[in-house]
Amino acid sequence: MIGAVFHLVRGAHVGFVMAREGGLAFMDPSQLPPHLRLALRVGRMLERPGLGEGAARLSAALTRLGPSYVKFGQFLATRPDIVGMAAAIDLEKLQDRVPPFPQGQSIRVVETSFGRPLREVFASFSEPIAAASIAQVHKATVIDADGTQRNLAVKVMRPGVRERFQRDLQAMRFMARVVHALSPQAERLRPREVVEILARSVMMEMDFRLEAAAMSELAQNTADDADFRVPKPEWELTARDVLTSEWIEGARLHDHATLIAAGHDLRALGRTVIQSFLRQAIRDGFFHADMHPGNLFVDAEGRLTAVDFGIMGRLGLKERRFLAEILLGFILRDYKRVAQVHFEAGYVPAHHSVDDFAQAIRAIGEPIHQRRADEISMAKVLTLLFDVTALFDMSTRTELVMLQKTMVVVEGVARSLDPQLDMWTGAEPVVRSWIARNLGPIGRIESAGRAVLTIADVVGDVPDLSQRLKRILIRLDEAGTGDAQRLEAFARQEKRRALWSTLALWGIAIGALVMAFR
């Protein structure tokens, strides 16, 4: 009871701050029942005069509410399926910048994490150079055994942030339940599910060992890319609350004047931004999902360099094939193939017509080819595509939604460098290369190899099935004659089940092998 009262008071405070800072302007009154529309009108009356527009309002409200709510806004920026694309784009502008905490607190976190004094960990340790809601960054140096001095970036967890987030999370859960109780129609926005997804996402982001693993995986995937690089983590200097990686010397991507003065080609950088993202998404299935200009640098060699790996996206082979084929289908105006890919992936139910779906996709594709290439938005095409698929009962795919939202950001960054950039020409080499590699002869041979391994697994299961049957027969023999008939029937049933299980596994394996060579 006391907890409910506390959460209710906290929820009322959140509502007041949102109303006062104009954050309620994002809510669509047409989607609310009458009693909540009245509450919204009353809340709008509390707005302070002279407020900014869009993200400026929400940024002020969320910043006043604290780090947990800033992260909540950033999380919603990756979920246009929940808040809508317009609100997601506004939320993307939400700046996660808060005052730094004292250097002494950072030093205590480092010393606690490694169990020794700071001077034994780093040769030098600067004042904070950047601060956000969860952590802040320091520049440090280490001296290697050969006397070489190296600069490092040290990301330190903000003290007490986990505890505060847990308290705010309980209030968010309570408010989500209240929203559902007051307006069952709001369940289409899945408020309770959204809060739980946020909880998992931020708790993972608050373990810097996991971010270091993401950094390491992306660095390994892109090691052979001449135009893109990822800083390497220093594992021996990384713990749950401290992440250490190599220091990046370079110009920020949004500082165009510095880039031009350094002799970098902005148009080439624009192509690099879109192609590096597509290589990560299509080729590797693991992409940086927060590629805004503040997280991108250009080093002295002209390579695009990414930082901050707290938000990452992952695509399975099916999703990567889906993305590659629909992009190529739009490039070639092969709308029938785009439609078939949706059905083959199982995204659109089989009771719909492929031809009808292809007709709907044509309505998206044909207007594209009537415009100049630099006027075509690849992200907008994907947005329209997902709108159309909703008419054909395609369920929301979280991984594709994150991909779509990241593509919106990446396209905006690329076009800021080169307003005349032809996104489709830039994307085509990456898409064609992946299709040729994975859907051509080499890819089919690899698929066949995977099918052979599946068959080997099936064969390996046969002895286990035989042992199970043998144990059953032994138990039957030991059971005596009292229930002989019942046990004999049970044995026959188990034998038939084992036989059919074996046949089914063989059927699946052979089917996989046949499909691989089609």
Phi/psi at 226 (nearest 5 deg)? Answer: -75, -20
Which DSSP string do the residues of 411-445 spell out, in sequence order?
A: HHHHHHH-TT--HHHHHHHHHHHHHHHHHSHHHHH
User: How are beta strands 149-157 and 130-131 bridged, if at all?
Assistant: unpaired
- Of 387, 342, 343, which Cα lies nearest the Cα of 364? 387
How many whole angstroms separate alpha carbon 13 and alpha carbon 18? Answer: 9
Its sign, for the CA torsion 116, 117, 120, 124, is positive
**With contact defined as beta carbons under 8 Å apart, do 156 and 242 qualify?**
yes
How many whole angstroms separate alpha carbon 111 and alpha carbon 116? Answer: 5
The radius of gyration computed from the CA coordinates of the chain, to the nearest angstrom, equals 28
**With contact defined as beta carbons under 8 Å apart, do 283 and 315 qualify?**
no
Active site residues: 290
How many whole angstroms separate alpha carbon 36 and alpha carbon 42? Answer: 10
Burial (0-12, 13-18, 19+ Cβ within 10 Å), 58 = buried
How many whole angstroms separate alpha carbon 19 and alpha carbon 448? Answer: 60
3-state secondary structure 456-513: HHHHHHHHHHHHHHHHHHHHHHHCCCCCHHHHHHHHHHHHHHHHHHHHHHHHHHHHHH
Its sign, for the CA torsion 401, 407, 410, 412, is negative
Which DSSP string do the residues of 40-94 spell out, in sequence order?
A: HHHHHTTPPTT---THHHHHHHHHHH-HHHHHHHHHHHT-HHHH-HHHHHHHHT-
How many whole angstroms separate alpha carbon 155 and alpha carbon 260? Answer: 30
Phi/psi at 231 (nearest 5 deg)? Answer: -65, 145
